Structure formats: C-alpha cells, structure tokens
Amino acid sequence: MIIASNFKTNHTRTSTNEYIEFVEEFIKKENISSDVYVFPPSTALMNSRSVFVGAQNAYPVQSGSFTGEIALEQLQEFGIKSILIGHSERRHVLKESQEFINSKFEFFKNSEFMITYCIGEPLEIRQKGLKEVLEYISLQLESIDMSYENLIVAYEPVWAIGTGVSATMEDIKSTHSALKNIYGFKNLLYGGSVNLDNVASIVDIEGVDGVLIGTASWKKEHFCEILKKTNKLGGR
Ligand code: 13P
C-alpha cells in the first residue's frame, strides 16, 4: 500500500519538519507497513528516514536560467529521489502542456527518480462516460514510458480534487480496473477528496494500490489516523 500526502502550497519548513518527525515516530510505534510519501513545498525539502520526501515539481534540467524554478541540482542537495509530474493543478492552473510534461517525465526518468505521474479527466468528460474518460487519459499517457520501473500512477479526476466530492466507489473501481487492464500498471493510486471517512473503503477496492491525499492529510494527526486505518488493508 502507498499512502501519499501532497501539501500543495501549505506548510512551512518548520511545520514540515515537525510533521515528518511526528509521522516517522508514528510509523515506528504503530508498525505501519505502507510506503509513505510526503510532497512538501520546495522550501521545505529535506532528507528523511522512513518517509519518502518528494518534490511537487521541478524544471527538467540539471541547473540553468529558469527564474523562479528549482531543478535537479537543488533536489540532489537534499537527496530527493521522488517527484510528482502531471498534477492537475499544474496542467490546469499553471497551464503546463502535455509536451512539457512529457519532457519532465523523460528527464526525471533518466535521472532514475521515483515518478508519481498524475492523470485524470475534467467533469465534462466524466459525464460522457467511461469510454470517453479512457480516451482522454490515453492522450496523457501517449508519450509516457509505462514500462519505467520506478513509476507510480495516480488517477485523480479533476472534478474530485479539493471539492469534497470524491468519485463514487463504482467509478473508482471501473476506472482502475480498465486502466490496469489496458496499461498493466503495478502501482495505481486514487486521489481526489480522499478523507478519514472514505479512505478505508477506497483502498479496499480492487485495483487501488494506495491513495494520494491533499486537504485531509495536511494535519499530521489526521494523516497518522489515515495511516492507521489503511495499515495492512488492500492487496499490497
Ligand atoms: P484533495 O485530497 O484535497 O482533493 O487533493 C487531491 C490531490 O490533488 C492530491 O494530489
């Protein structure tokens, strides 16, 4: 089971430190067997022990002239080996093109990062049905090396992110099952309004290998409760 927290634009370096220390203690005390990932803002990147700390974003170069960005060199300073690519907020709010996302994927694959690659459809596509959803997602995967061994895929329907409205259990089940059948993903996470009340049922769905959580994971106590509720559930 993979349980991941995306801080987005929340937390400081100090609070991230406290959060990770707290979670690492909890993992030890409660014998949590899941792989736990935390993606803090880039000002709070740090080395860690049992929690995998990853970057939410980076520019696909070793170093260079890209004002406001960080690149591989800055990640390496903290021993960061994990990154989110293709998150819906970067696609839709920051207008990253699929072409740019593909180049990020290639760069961080060549740098042997653990890549959590995010896919997902907007509401108007979901309303048309599963066939259209799969067609939409196929374009997000077209130039992605799906045989890359350090690949985690996160299915995050755009309309379920930060809205408090998670996809239904049926939608998650049918979408994950179709994606696994078509692409053979080994690690397929669900994300989008996962919370303390729905997380156990979601990770119990066949084809769900873990969750990528935003809002409900930002308080360390809540994230730890989620780790406890999901410990040893699901297939992994
Ligand atoms: P929420 O859990 O706040 O819906 O965010 C999901 C997400 O975008 C995780 O990457």
In angstroms, the CA 227 to CA 32 distance is 7
pLDDT(235) > 70: no
User: Where do the structural domains in the chain lie, given as residue ranges?
Assistant: 2-230
What is the distance in A from the centroid of ligand 1 to the CA of 220?
A: 16
Tokens 């992994």 sit at which residue? 236
Ligand 1 mutation target, pool 119, 161, 198, most atoms within 8 A of CB: 161
User: Which of 212, 217, 219 best tests ligand 1's pocket when mutated (most atoms within 8 Å of CB)?
Assistant: 212
pLDDT at residue number 65: 98
The Å distance, Cα 21 to ligand 1 centre, comes to: 22
Average pLDDT for the chain: 96
Q: Is the pLDDT of residue 92 over 90?
A: yes
Q: What pLDDT score was predicted for residue 233?
A: 80
Residue ranges lining ligand 1, Cβ < 6 Å: 6, 87, 156, 161-162, 191-194, 212-216
The pick from 3, 5, 7, 8 for probing ligand 1's pocket by mutation, whose C-beta has the most ligand atoms within 8 angstroms, reads: 8
Residue located nearest, by CA, to atom 2 of ligand 1: 214
* 3-state SS class at 200: helix
CA of 91 to the centre of ligand 1 (A): 14
What is the rounded average pLDDT of the residues 40-61? 95
Interatomic CA distance for residues 223 and 216, integer angstroms:
7
Q: Determine the pLDDT at residue 234.
A: 64
Kindly give the distance from the C-alpha atom of residue 212 to the centroid of ligand 1, in angstroms, as a whole number.
Answer: 7
Return the active site residues. Answer: 87, 156
DSSP code of residue 55: B
Strand stretches in 54-200, DSSP E: 82-85, 114-119, 151-155, 188-191
- Report residue 189: phi and psi, to 5°: -95, 155
2-230 CATH choice from 3.10.20.30, 3.40.1360.10, 3.40.50.12240, 3.20.20.70: 3.20.20.70
Stretch among 9-18, 51-60, 161-170 having the lowest mean pLDDT: 161-170
Task: Give me 185's structure tokens.
Answer: 């993903």
Distance from C-alpha of 190 to C-alpha of 179, rounded to nearest angstrom: 12
Residue 186 to residues 48, 113, 178, Cα–Cα distance (Å) = 25, 17, 13
